[in-house]
Amino acid sequence: MKKNTALYVGCSLLIFIVFCAIFAPWLSPYDPYVQDLTNRTVPPVWYEKGSWAHPLGTDQLGRDYLSRLIYGARISLLIGLSVAVISGFIGTTMGMLAGYFGGRIDMFVSFMVTTRLSMPVILVALATVALVGGSLWVVIMVLGLLKWDRFAVVMRSATQQVRAMEYVSAAQSAGASTLRIMLTEVLPNVLPHLIVIATLEAASAILLEAALSFLGLGVQPPLPSWGLMISEAKSYMFFSFWLIAIPGSALALLIFSINLAGDGLHQLLTPGERA
């Protein structure tokens, strides 16, 4: 068997970030919300004026940047996971129903997917958050309710393939209920596809949250969302570019590791197809 470098590297990075997020209270040197106005925009340690007291410096309100970065991982991971679960549940239900029953249900689901795809996600999400008011849970709900399209498309075709298998007919003739067949015969066999899509959608949800927060219509201050940190540091970018570069790189690293893990899982779980 070929070595799966993508899976190995992606998962290692991801586990590292998850570890940081879980143990944030023990790992961060300071409280991420405590301001120290006498110690504003202290540069990171690798700058001449930096010191080990604040390894990644402090932000425009004197809050320790490393602590905010570590707590920020919690927000991104929470968004990715929750959105993948909500949209995964909606999309998988729709896709499996369409793929299993076909006919009118299939037509209806395909219509829903086409409609959803034609609406620009970020615009609808922004407008909704502006109306309902921005908060972590609003962002999770809005993205969860918007991002089920890929789940539905992939689950639909995967279910269609599984439905034609003999073990499904066998279960049917044995008198198993439709719900039982769906849950015990179909679902385990489409699960590999589901996991791969879930990783990709989690990554895309994290990017969307960052973009929404960056535009000021996502997670609200003083929460240390990475997108929000970039947004708040925007007016300082001319003199303190690291205020943007640090959360930006963290975001890129997280997405990179999730995508890599997703590619690796794809190779591992669905051999024969290439990403």
Partner 1 sequence: MLAYITKRLGLAVLVALTVSILAFMLLYLSGDPALAIAGEGARQVDIDMVRKTYGFDQPIIVQFGNWLFKIIQGDLGQSIYFKTEVGKLIFTKLETTLLLALYSLAFALIISVPLGVLAAIYKNSWIDRLCLAVAVVGQAMPNFFFALILIMLFSITWRILPVSGSDTWEHFVMPSIALGYYAAPAFMRLIRAGMIEVLSADYIRTARAKGLPTRSVIFKHALRNAIVPVVALAAVQLGFLLGGSIVIETIFALDGLGYLAYQSIIQKDFPVTQVIVLLLSVIYILLTLASDIANAWLDPRIRVA
Minimum distance between the CB of residue 115 and partner 1, rounded to whole angstroms? 5
Which stretches of the chain bind partner 1, using CB under 8 A? 111, 114-115, 117-124, 126-128, 130-132, 203, 207, 210-211, 214-217, 227, 230, 234, 237-238, 241, 244-245, 248, 251-253, 255-256, 259-260, 263, 274-275
Quick one: 76 or 82, whose CB is closer to partner 1? Answer: 76
CB atoms within 10 A of CB 113: 21
Q: What is the largest CA-CA distance in the chain?
A: 76
Q: Identify which of 138, 188, 153 has the alpha carbon closest to the alpha carbon of residue 167.
A: 188
Minimum distance between the CB of residue 271 and partner 1, rounded to whole angstroms? 16
Minimum distance between the CB of residue 187 and partner 1, rounded to whole angstroms? 27
Quick one: 43 or 185, whose CB is closer to partner 1? Answer: 43
Minimum distance between the CB of residue 160 and partner 1, rounded to whole angstroms? 13
Minimum distance between the CB of residue 188 and partner 1, rounded to whole angstroms? 29
User: How many Cα atoms are found within 13 Å in the side-chain-facing hemisphere of 28?
Assistant: 25
Quick one: 22 or 117, whose CB is closer to partner 1? Answer: 117
What does the alpha-carbon distance between residue 46 and residue 31 come to, in Å, rounded to a whole number?
Answer: 22
User: How many Cα atoms are found within 13 Å in the side-chain-facing hemisphere of 122?
Assistant: 13
Minimum distance between the CB of residue 59 and partner 1, rounded to whole angstroms? 16
Alpha helices, DSSP H only, in the chain? 5-22, 24-27, 65-101, 103-118, 121-132, 136-146, 149-163, 166-173, 178-181, 187-214, 226-233, 242-269
Quick one: 176 or 245, whose CB is closer to partner 1? Answer: 245
Quick one: 114 or 169, whose CB is closer to partner 1? Answer: 114
Quick one: 82 or 128, whose CB is closer to partner 1? Answer: 128
DSSP string, 217-248: SSSPTTS--HHHHHHHHGGGTTT-THHHHHHH
